[in-house]
Amino acid sequence: AAEPAATEISPEQIAAWRERYYAAARSGAETDAAEVIGECLRRRLPLQDIHVEIIQRSLERIGEDYVAGEITEADEHIATELTQRVLGHASAFVPSKPANGRVAVVGCVAGNRHSLGPRMIADLLIHEGWTVLFTGADTPTPSFLDVVRRNRPQAVVLSCAVAECAEAARDLVERLRELRSGTQGWPFVIAVGGGYVNCEPEAAQAWGADFTAHDARGLSDKLTDLLPTVSWRAWG
């Protein structure tokens, strides 16, 4: 029998997968976590829904459990590490669209060690056909700028999860704007996001980036709308 289309997947089914993924990640059961995501993929739940509805929501809950003292820091690390591997498997399973000729630089600003969210964004852009340079966690500002200069991307995606990296994010956006408007510059969009930006949107807006989005799904939608006219600005 043919696989059901994603539209036939009920919210209850998604909630059940989320519950199972959360329980597996929380108890460090990597095989069970991979099995849940395998099931989502077989039922053709889109990758961006797997990322946001299943994995991101589960990790948010695991963060709450840690704050409530129900799990240890090591338990939280185990959940994150197994999720990194599961994300890699999921990505390899879903075929990418043909290359679209666009380049993005995606990474964490200096001081931000939360690399999983921007890794999801990198994966989703790759599946849309982008070439992505992912700089990972805690990227020093000068070398981040160097990657941008050398690769001349259409989009630069910065992730800032905690208040302690806000100043680095503000500084990097300012330098990117200088780079863009200089004589050797070229048009590219600057997006900022991550937990800090979601909690403090006004503060982040003052940095002067072109836009934000609440999650990876929102980012890929906005980039698709935005890129034909890179000067378009749409915050919020």
Write out the two tokens for 27.
Answer: 């108890």
Residue 56 CB, shortest distance to ligand B12, in Å, is 4
Contact between 107 and ligand B12 (CB under 6 A)?
Answer: no
Q: x/- site string to ligand B12, residues 67 to 86, per CB under 6 A?
A: x--------xx--x------
CB of 20 or CB of 226, closer to ligand B12: 226
Of 1-9, 38-46, 96-104, 211-219, the window that binds ligand B12 (rule: CB under 6 A) is: 211-219
Applying CB under 6 A, among 104, 121, 166, 173 the residue interacting with ligand B12 is 121
CB of 4 to ligand B12, least distance (A): 25
Q: Where are the alpha helices (DSSP H) in the chain?
A: 11-26, 30-42, 47-49, 57-67, 73-93, 116-127, 141-151, 166-181, 195-199, 201-205, 216-226
Crossing angle of helices 116-127 and 73-93, in 10° steps, is 0
- Where does this chain touch ligand B12 (CB under 6 A) — which range of 16-24, 114-122, 166-174, 181-189? 114-122
Under the binding rule (CB under 6 A), the answer on residue 115 touching ligand B12 is yes
The least distance separating ligand B12 from the CB of residue 1, rounded to whole angstroms, comes to 33
Task: Read off the DSSP letter of residue 74.
Answer: H
Q: Which residues contact 184 (CB under 8 A, 6 or more apart)?
A: none
d(CA 19, CA 36): 10
The reply on whether position 215 binds ligand B12 by CB under 6 A is yes
Q: Which amino acid is at 141?
A: T
Q: Backbone dihedral region of 196: left (phi > 0), alpha (psi from -120 to 50 degrees) or beta?
A: alpha
- Which residues from 137-196 bind ligand B12, rule CB under 6 A? 137, 157-159, 161-164, 191-196
Residue 6 binds to ligand B12 (criterion: CB under 6 A)? no
- Residue (8 or 15) nearer to ligand B12, CB: 15
CB of 219: closest distance to ligand B12 in angstroms?
4
- The dihedral over CA atoms of 214, 162, 112, 109, expressed in degrees to the nearest 10, equals 60
Q: Terminal CA-to-CA distance of the chain, rounded, Å?
A: 43
Residue ranges binding ligand B12 (CB under 6 A):
51-52, 56, 59-60, 62-63, 67, 76-77, 80, 111-118, 120-121, 137, 157-159, 161-164, 191-196, 198-199, 212-213, 215-216, 219
